[in-house]
Amino acid sequence: MIDIVMMTGTGVLLGLAIGLVVRYFGVPVNPLVESLNELMPGANCGGCGLAGCSDYANAMATGRAKPGLCPVMSAEAVAKCCELLGVESDTTEPKIAVVCCSGDDDHAAKQAFYNGVNDCLNAMLVAGGSKGCTYGCLGLGSCARACPFGAIEMLPNHLAKIHADLCTGCGKCYMACPRNVIKLVPRSAAKVHVYCNSPKKAPIKRTVCKAACIGCRKCAKTAGEGQIIMNGYLASINYDNPPAEGIVEVCPTKCLRKAD
């Protein structure tokens, strides 16, 4: 009997103490921040440019940041944020990351054998990495480890592959890649991509990679005006005015491909 009384008494006393502490020492929380926080994806990826989700919520509530900077949030969540803040809806175009390289082990020549730390930046610091092409994917997976959403798979033949359904376009991989192979493009226009990143002349590229863009301009001529732009010896898609998917048929090296 006495133990039950003791336990109940202790419980009541502690509950009271907690209640009093909350009542008198509690830090007031802006209810707006709380409700914004609930709408946040909680990935803390930093894609908005702030330290994390709660930082962004705080920034929005205090007017330091606009809603819609978060690349991960759904359109509905952004609309709700705008409603809570009482501002006009202003969404950013959702983006997706693309690894602009086809140089896996089957296609790209290896010039050296690298057995150091398994990280792209480390490899870059040792004679620029093992692949012959100095613009392509190093294939050591720094981007995959940086991705907070597990959207990047390292293929066994050393090329990063982005799974479009998991990618939120937060840009972490883009920041992690020391070769700038990963590009962020508007999701709605991401139908075909040029999977090559080397601006070199075709003979140089071809000696190190069988899948490189040779700058033949076939795609640029076949596509409509301004849909594919030639950047020196490298074709690049104009994502404001993307070409139709059928264009991939004309590419002789198959580096112009449908989004995978």
Partner 1 sequence: MNKQIKFYGGVKLDEGKMTSNEPIISAPLEPLYTVPLQQHIGAPAKAVVQKGDKVLRGQLLGEAGSFVSAPVHSPTSGTVRELSSCLGPAGAQLPAVVIESDGEDTAAEPLPIFANWQEASPDELKARVAEAGIVGMGGAAFPTAVKLSPPPNVTIDTVILNGVECEPCLTADHRLMLEHTETIITGARIIARILGVKQIIIAIEMNKPDALEMMTKKAEGTGVEVVGLRVLYPQGAEKQLIYTVTGRKVPSGKLPAHVGCLVTNVSSAAAIADAVCLGKPLYERITTVTGTPVAKPGNILCRVGTPYSSALALCGGVKEDPLKIISGGPMMGMSVYSLDIPIIKGTSGILLLAADEVSQYTPNACLRCGRCNDACPMEMIPGILSSTIEFHHFSLAERWHVMDCIECGCCSYVCPAGRPLVQHMRRAKAVANATRRAAEAASKK
**Contact between 105 and partner 1 per CB under 8 A:** no
Q: Quick one: which of 134, 222, 238, 241 contacts partner 1 (CB under 8 A)?
A: 134
Cα separation, 106 vs 117, in Å, equals 23
Does residue 51 interact with partner 1 by CB under 8 A? Answer: no
CB of 174 or CB of 239, closer to partner 1: 174
Report the SS3 class of residue 174: helix
Single out the residue of 160, 140, 159, 158 nearest to residue 150, CA to CA.
160
From the list 18, 117, 164, 244, which residue makes contact with partner 1 (rule: CB under 8 A)? 117
- CB of 131 vs partner 1, minimal distance in Å: 10
Q: Do the beta carbons of residue 89 and residue 78 sit within 8 Å? A: yes
SS3 of 77, please? helix
Site for partner 1 contains 175 (CB under 8 A): no
**Quick one: 147 or 256, whose CB is closer to partner 1?**
147
Nearer to partner 1 by Cβ, of 18 and 126: the residue is 126
Neighbours of 221 (CB within 10 A): 10
Nearer to partner 1, 46 or 128 (CB): 128
125 binds partner 1 (CB under 8 A): yes
Return the residues of window 187-216 that contact partner 1 according to CB under 8 A: none
Category of 241 on φ-ψ map: left (φ > 0), alpha (ψ -120 to 50) or beta:
beta
